[in-house]
Amino acid sequence: MNGYLKVYDITRHDHRQLFHPRSGYDLFENFGEIIAAKCNGSFMAVLLANESLIPDGRVYCWNYQNDTVNYFDFLKCKDENGGGDGGSGSSAMDDKSPSSSSFVAKLPVGIYWDTDDHRLLAVQTKVIHIQASNKKDNTKLVADSQAIIMFQSEKGALNVLEAKDMYFGEELIALCIPHLITLNINSISRITMRDFQGMENCDEETRTKIIDFSLHIS
């Protein structure tokens, strides 16, 4: 409730706090409250609401080793440097500006780090299509869902690797390369990443090489 972030080492019998708590008011601009936070050994991904308690549409990545924060803005499909979406050819993340009639804003609702590779982050988004009408104050919102795989680049930026459309009612619950794990009512499904099509059962060494190559060309 007070917006403090704390990170603990839980690999030992006695849990140990790694560093002093940090306030969201110090780390993030226009901070209101924390919606969700997930961490791995190097980074913490955070979803926030602004001072008006409205989700701000960004996924923040806090590198708590060197105390730096960067973000990706899904409402504008731009990263913190004002660049494009960073995608690698997925139709769901084609380069569109917010002023374009085909621009699709997205709202992140879930975040999941990969179970093995600390660079990879899966984000579930609700895709909002805004269709303008004759009345300026009357818009129609149609929301779909996507699972978007992102990665932390060597320069410290969040970039998009690929995006997958999700069925109505389907929820993202994990990222375990080479699969996205989803839940739809009572069934659990595995969605294979694009670069692993036909190579789902490869060994760990091959999997690492494929990921490294995919991140290099993205």
- In the chain, what's the furthest Cα-to-Cα distance? 63
Instruction: Burial-class residue 107 by CB neighbours within 10 Å (0-12, 13-18, 19+).
Output: middle
Of 113 and 16, more confident: 113
Mean pLDDT of the chain: 83
Rounded mean pLDDT of 201-213?
92
pLDDT at 90: 32
Rg (CA), the chain: 18
Q: What tokens appear for 110 in the block?
A: 């879930």
- Average pLDDT on 77-83 reads 46
pLDDT at 206 over 90: yes
Which helix (DSSP H) or strand (DSSP E) does residue 190 occupy?
A: strand 187-192
Domain range list for the chain: 4-78+102-217
Q: Is the pLDDT of residue 138 over 90?
A: no
Give, as one character, the DSSP assignment of residue 48: E
* pLDDT score at 218: 76
The residues, any chain, with a CB within 8 Å of residue 161's CB and separated by 6 or more, are: 87, 88, 120, 149, 150, 151, 214, 215, 218
More confident residue, 3 or 122: 122
Does residue 54 have a pLDDT over 90?
Answer: yes
Asked whether the CA dihedral 36, 77, 157, 191 is positive or negative, the reply is positive
Which of 88-92, 126-130, 189-193: highest mean pLDDT? 189-193
Report the pLDDT value the prediction gives residue 1, as an integer from 0 to 100. Answer: 59
Mean pLDDT to the nearest integer, 68-75? 93
